[in-house]
């Protein structure tokens, strides 16, 4: 079968790949581009571990075909830190011990980032809503909710 050419921007860099038709964005990112920060948990859109940001919206990369991302701007957790300085969400997840095995963490952080991009000072309920598509097996969620609220506070202090 003929390969399909796809070009997109990933974390600020141009990427061009030939993928098999039907390849998911998750597999294209992990196996072709080499960005393994999105995780493959269920491969059917129920766990959220593969969450990435496409053109500003939170999307499940396991349910998104790579060939539909031509020209898209994609962000993943691996592109969040700048010059070795962690993103406030990454910092907050570390500082509040919001990660154990870490498998859900990249998806959680992307879901939280979209929330904070649109709602810089979310309520607890808004955080819960934003994370409700992501499954975590280790933490019992409370530390993750606290991490997102902590990052929001850090952002608003920096802005002030």
Partner 1 sequence: MAIRRGRGVAAINYPTGMNLGGDPTQALVHSTPTGNFMVTLSSVDLGQGMKQIMAQICAETIGVPTDRVVVDTADTDTGPHCMGTFASRGTHRAGNAVIQAAREARQVMLEVAAEELEVNASDLETDGQGNILVKGAPQKSISMFDVALSAHFKRGRSISGRGMFLIPRSYPEKETGAMKPSTCYAHACTVAEVEVDDETGEVTVLTVKNVFEIGRALNPKMVEQQLVGGSWMGISHALYETTEPYYPNRDHGGTDFNQYLMPGPGDLAETEIIVLERPSADGPYGAKGPGEMCANPQIPAVANAVFDAVGVRIDTLPITPERILRALKAQAAN
* Positions in the binding site for partner 1 (CB under 8 A): 41-42, 44, 46-47, 97, 99-103, 127-129, 131-132, 135, 137-145
Nearest-approach distance from CB 84 to partner 1, in angstroms: 18
Using CA atoms, how far apart are residues 139 and 94, in angstroms rounded to an integer? Answer: 13
Q: Which of 5, 133, 134 is nearest to 69 (CA)?
A: 5
Terminal Cα-to-Cα distance of the chain (whole angstroms): 55
Residue (27 or 134) nearer to partner 1, CB: 134
Nearest-approach distance from CB 82 to partner 1, in angstroms: 25
How many Cβ atoms from other residues are within 10 Å of residue 156's Cβ? Answer: 12
How many residues are there in the chain? Answer: 160
Residue (44 or 158) nearer to partner 1, CB: 44
Going by their DSSP bridges, the two strands 57-60 and 13-20 should be labelled as unpaired
Nearest-approach distance from CB 21 to partner 1, in angstroms: 25
Residue (4 or 135) nearer to partner 1, CB: 135
Residue (11 or 61) nearer to partner 1, CB: 61
């Amino acid at each position: 079968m003929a390969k399909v050419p796809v070009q997109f921007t990933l974390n600020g860099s141009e990427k061009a790949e030939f993928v098999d038709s039907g390849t998911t964005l998750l597999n294209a990112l992990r196996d072709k581009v080499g960005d393994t920060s999105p995780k493959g948990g269920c491969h059917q859109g129920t766990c959220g571990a593969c969450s990435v940001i496409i053109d500003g919206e939170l999307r499940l990369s396991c349910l998104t075909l790579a060939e539909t991302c031509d020209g898209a701007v994609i962000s993943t957790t691996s592109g969040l830190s700048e010059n070795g300085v962690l993103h406030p969400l990454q910092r907050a997840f570390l500082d509040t011990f919001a990660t154990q095995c870490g498998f859900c963490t990249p998806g959680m952080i992307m879901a939280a980032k979209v929330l904070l991009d649109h709602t810089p000072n979310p309520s607890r309920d808004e955080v819960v809503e934003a994370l409700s598509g992501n499954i975590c097996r280790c933490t019992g969620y409370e530390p993750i909710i606290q991490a997102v609220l902590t990052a929001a506070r850090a952002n608003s202090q920096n802005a002030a």
